[in-house]
Structure 1
C-alpha cells in the first residue's frame, strides 16, 4: 500500500488492529513540510489523516498509542536557528488535545526519542545544544500534559548525542546514543538509568577506527538488549547488529552487507528467539536502493535475507510485530506510487 507525497517515520498498532503512522507531508498552503498523521485499517486502507503545522518545517518522528486510546506524536520544528522538539497529544480520532515545544534538543538520528511512562507522563532524550564543540545527552521527564518534571544531563569524555530511549522491565530507561570519546570515530553508547534518571551503568560498543551508529534498541526476553545500526567509514557502511546482557556487556555482534552501503534501522525479537532486522541496501537488490530484510537466529547468525523494491530508491524505516503474529514494514518508495515518492506500507505473514 502506498500513499503519495508523504513520508512515514514511525508506526504503531492501534487498539482496533489497524495502524497509526506519523511522518511529514508537503504543506498545501506554503513550501514547508508539516507533520502528517495517518490512520489505516488492518488491511492498510486509509481511514483518516491529519496535518499539524506552522509557518516552519516540521516532521513527526514517533507515534505511540496512549493509555486513554489517544496518540502522542514526537516531532520537530526546523527553521534556520530554530530547532525545537514538538510533543503533540491527540484523541482517538487524531484531533489535537494539547501540544508542547521544547528547545533543549538537537535533532536525533531517529524518532524513537520519546516514550510514555508508567505514570502516564513522557520521557524524552536528545542532545544539548552545544556551546562548544562538545554536546551532551539530555533526558527530560514530563507529566501527562507535557509539563517538565525533571531534567538529567549526561556528559562523557567526547561529543555525545541521544538517539533512542526505551522503558525497561524494571521501570527504568535505556538510552541509545553515540559518542566519539574525544576521538575522530563514533562509538555506540548505551546508558541504563533508574526511573528517576540516575545512571546505573554506561557502556560503549564498536570497533576501532570505524564509525559505529546505533539507531534502535529493544530489550530482549532475557533482560538484555539488542541494538541495530550501521558500521564503517569512508562511504562504505554495513548493517550492525549487537546483543548485550542485562548489564550492557557485549554478548556478540554481527555485520551484514556487501560492497556498497547497507544500513540497519529497526529490529524486533522473534518468537523463536531470533531477530528480524530492517534497513536499506545498495549492495543487493534491483534498484538504486532496496528495503533490506534480515532474519537471524538467537546468536545473530543469518538464516535468510530478502530485498524488496523496484528500479528506483526504496527504503525501510520501521518493522513492527503485529498482534496476528506477522510484521508490518513502514518504508518509502520511489519505484511505486507517485514519481515524487510515497509512504510504503508492507504487511508480512508470520515468520
Structure 2
C-alpha cells in the first residue's frame, strides 16, 4: 500500500511538472510571436533587392574597402587600403566609379610606412575627402590624416593631426558650408588614457584673381597711345 501511494505521488509530481513546463513553453512561443509580428525577412520574395552590378579592385596582395560616398552626379567613391601602392607596404586608396560601375580613376596616397584609408565624403562642389591614418607623416607614431582631391582625382592638399602618441581617424563629414570634420580618438591629448577627438578644417580662403577685361585693356592701350603721341609732338615741335 505504501509503495502504491509513493508511486501515485511520484506520478502526480511528474504530471504537474509537465503541465507547468508546457505552459511556460506556450507562453514563451506566444510572446515571441507577438514580438516578431512586424519583422520582415530581409530577403523575402516580396521584398527582394536586385543587385545591379558589383566591382572588385585589387591585385595579387591584400586590399580592403572601408568607406563609400556618392557625389551629386551619382559617381561612387570607394576608400580603403592597398598593399600594392607605389610608396609603401600599405597605402590609402581611392577608386572612383560612375553610376554604371565603370571605373573613372584610382589614386593611392602614402609614404614608406603604413597608411590606411578609412572613410570618404564629398562636398558641394564634388571635391573628395579621404580620411584615415598615417605612420609615414605627421608628429607621432600614428596620426590622423585628411587628403583632398578634386573630382578629376587631382590632389589639392593633405593635412595630418596628432601628437607623440597614437591618434586615429575613423570618420569624416562635411557641413553645409563645406567645412570638414575629422573624427577619431587620441592617446596624445585629452583627460584620459584614450579620448574622443573632433578636428574641424575650415573652408579654404581663395585670393581673388585680378583680371583685366578686354575693354579695360583697350582703354589702357588708348591712353598710353595718346600720352605717347603728345610726348612725341612736344619733342619734335621744339
Number of aligned positions between the proteins:
164
Q: Distance in 1 between matches of 2:140 and 2:37?
A: 43
SS at match of 2:83: strand
Please state if 1:341 is matched with 2:194. yes
Which has the larger Rg? 2
Relative to total residues, which structure has the larger strand share, 1 or 2?
1
Q: What is the 5 A alignment of 1:281-296? A: 281-296=134-149
The 1:146–1:322 alpha-carbon spacing in structure 2 relative to 1, beyond 3 Å, is: farther
Unpaired stretches in structure 1, ≥5 consecutive residues: 1-144, 154-194
Choose from 312, 323, 327 the match for 2:165: 312
Please state if 1:201 is matched with 2:53. yes
Q: Which residue of 1 aligns with 2:114?
A: 261
Deviations 1:51-108 (A, max 9, x none): xxxxxxxxxxxxxxxxxxxxxxxxxxxxxxxxxxxxxxxxxxxxxxxxxxxxxxxxxx
Query: How far 1:149 sits from its partner (Å)?
Result: 1.4
Q: Which residue of 2 aligns with 1:227?
A: 78
Q: Which residue of 2 aligns with 1:151?
A: 42
CA contact (8 A) 2:186 2:196 kept: yes
Query: How far 1:338 sits from its partner (Å)?
Result: 3.1
Q: Distance in 2 between matches of 1:221 and 1:253?
A: 19
Q: Which residue of 1 aligns with 2:65?
A: 214
Choose from 183, 188, 199 the match for 1:330: 183
Query: How far 1:242 sits from its partner (Å)?
Result: 0.5
TM-score scaled by length of structure 1: 0.44
Deviations 1:293-317 (A, max 9, x none): 1011112121111111111100111
Please state if 1:299 is matched with 2:172. no
SS at match of 1:204: coil
SS at match of 1:150: coil
Query: How far 1:147 sits from its partner (Å)?
Result: 4.8
Q: What is the 5 A alignment of 1:1-351? A: 147-152=38-43, 196-206=48-58, 208-232=59-83, 236-351=89-204
Q: Distance in 1 between matches of 2:134 and 2:37?
A: 38
TM-score scaled by length of structure 2: 0.63
SS at match of 2:94: strand
Q: Distance in 2 between matches of 1:150 and 1:346?
A: 40
Unpaired stretches in structure 2, ≥5 consecutive residues: 1-35, 205-238
The 1:292–1:347 alpha-carbon spacing in structure 2 relative to 1, beyond 3 Å, is: same
Query: How far 1:339 sits from its partner (Å)?
Result: 4.6
Q: Distance in 2 between matches of 1:252 and 1:214?
A: 16
Query: How far 1:148 sits from its partner (Å)?
Result: 3.2
Q: Distance in 1 between matches of 2:134 and 2:185?
A: 13
CA contact (8 A) 2:112 2:136 kept: yes
Output the aligned Cα RMSD. Answer: 2.3
Q: Distance in 1 between matches of 2:114 and 2:74?
A: 32
CA contact (8 A) 1:216 1:266 kept: yes
Q: Distance in 2 between matches of 1:219 and 1:265?
A: 16
CA contact (8 A) 1:205 1:250 kept: no
The 1:146–1:244 alpha-carbon spacing in structure 2 relative to 1, beyond 3 Å, is: farther
